[in-house]
Structure 1
């Protein structure tokens, strides 16, 4: 049994496909297939069921994959321990960020990281919360920035900030000149929402639960639309197609002549943004350095949270 074989096993379990797994490991498919067959013969078990178009993991294979990932994590820990002898934060940090945070935090975060910890380059991945959690568990990411709540997966969590929500309306809308807006006042509006999979969509539906059924005939509910990103939805708002709810950091200082942002009346709805990582991840200094970089960013309008 070799570490290379364990890496191949984890890759196939992740990709559910021998060809894609081989590509991700930068080897030929025959090389990967032969190595896995050799390991199965050595262990006298079937790790994978090979179908005509896909690959599934056997029940015993699931346990072997988990143990293989644990071994690979320990090997990485040994390497990181050796690196920390010279510089505790040296080396790339693989950071995941959800879609509704990335565009508004990452530009300044990267600039601050280059200035403060140039020896720790950030390798960035934007994705949905569920996918980032999968990548964390598989060891493909070191840490991730996301919004609570999310499924408990035994991760270490450090709170970063509470971010209020803001209502975005067309400039000509009757509510655009208000000092604040209550959630009840949005009941009759055409609400523009992010598509399924975005956790911020769920946050908005918690604030405005009337929109959850997506029924244009339901009492007191305006027709809803879905968009692929917050920026797309903002353009729809500026065109007068409806209103939406956005996180505070998405409100820029740049003039937007066709859109107005109005805060919610107290108590304003918020989301808690946190940094998460596997408890087995041993680069504690890197996590601390990343938190310091995040706190060095402007973060206008949010409530910073101390450790």
Structure 2
């Protein structure tokens, strides 16, 4: 039994597909398949059920995969301990960020990280919360910046900041001149939403639950539209297609010719942004350095938090 074979079974369990797992491990599919078959023969049990287009993990295979992941992490921990003896911050840190935070935090964060810990480059991955949680669990990421709530997966979590929401409307819209808008008024407007999978979509639907039904006849609600990113939705709002709700850090510093951002009236909805990492992750100094780099970013309009 080798670490390479253990990495192969973890990859197959994650991808549920031998071909994709082979690509992720940078080997050919026959190489991966032969190695897994050899391991199954050595253990005298089936780890995977092969059938149809998708691979499933057997009940005993689930336990083996979990143990394999722990062994891989412990092996990596040995390397990290050796590195820490020379420089606690040496080596890259693999950081995940959700799509609705990345474009607005990463430019400043990368700059701060280069200035403060040049020996610890950030290897960045933008994705949905569910995917980042999976990559944390399997050791593909060391840490992730996400918005609560998310499923309790036994991760260590440190709060970073509370971020208020703003309402984006066309500059010509009657709401553009208001000093603040109650959430109740938004149900009379055409709301532009992020597509399914974005946690910020769920945050907006908490503020405006009427839009969860996509009703065309309830209290004047018109059909809602979906966009693939906050920046796409901004352009849709600018063109007069509707209004939307945005996190504070996505609001441009300069005044926009076709777009106005108006605060919510109290109570102002917010989201809590946190840093999460596996409790078994041994580079404590790296996590602390990353938090310090985040706190050194401007973060206009948010409430900074400390654990």
TM-score strictly above 0.5 = yes
C-alpha distance after superposition, 1:5-53 (max 9, x if no partner):
1111111112222222222222222222121111111111000111242
**1:225 matched to which residue of 2?**
225
SS of the aligned residue for 2:188 comes to coil
**1:148 matched to which residue of 2?**
148
**2:104 matched to which residue of 1?**
104
C-alpha distance after superposition, 1:94-137 (max 9, x if no partner):
10000000010011111111111111110111111111111111
SS of the aligned residue for 1:150 comes to coil
SS of the aligned residue for 1:255 comes to coil
- Tell me how far 1:206 sits from its aligned partner: 0.7
**1:198 matched to which residue of 2?**
198
**1:90 matched to which residue of 2?**
90
Distance in 1 separating the partners of 2:118 and 2:272: 28
Preserved CA contact (<8 Å) 2:73 2:139: yes
Distance in 2 separating the partners of 1:209 and 1:54: 36
**2:41 matched to which residue of 1?**
41
**1:266 matched to which residue of 2?**
266
- Tell me how far 1:222 sits from its aligned partner: 2.9
**1:293 matched to which residue of 2?**
293
SS of the aligned residue for 1:306 comes to coil
- Tell me how far 1:166 sits from its aligned partner: 0.2
The range that moved more, 13-22 or 88-97, is 13-22
- Tell me how far 1:247 sits from its aligned partner: 0.2
Distance in 1 separating the partners of 2:50 and 2:272: 43
- Tell me how far 1:305 sits from its aligned partner: 0.4
The range that moved more, 253-262 or 72-81, is 253-262
Distance in 1 separating the partners of 2:23 and 2:185: 53
Matches within 5 A, 1:61-80: 61-80=61-80
Distance in 2 separating the partners of 1:68 and 1:287: 25
Matches within 5 A, 1:181-260: 181-260=181-260
The range that moved more, 30-39 or 144-153, is 30-39
Unaligned runs of 5+ in 1: none
**1:13 matched to which residue of 2?**
13
Unaligned runs of 5+ in 2: none
C-alpha distance after superposition, 1:57-81 (max 9, x if no partner):
1111111000000000000111101
User: TM-score of the superposition, structure 2-length normalised?
Assistant: 0.98
User: TM-score of the superposition, structure 1-length normalised?
Assistant: 0.98
**Is 1:164–2:164 an aligned residue pair?**
yes
**2:31 matched to which residue of 1?**
31
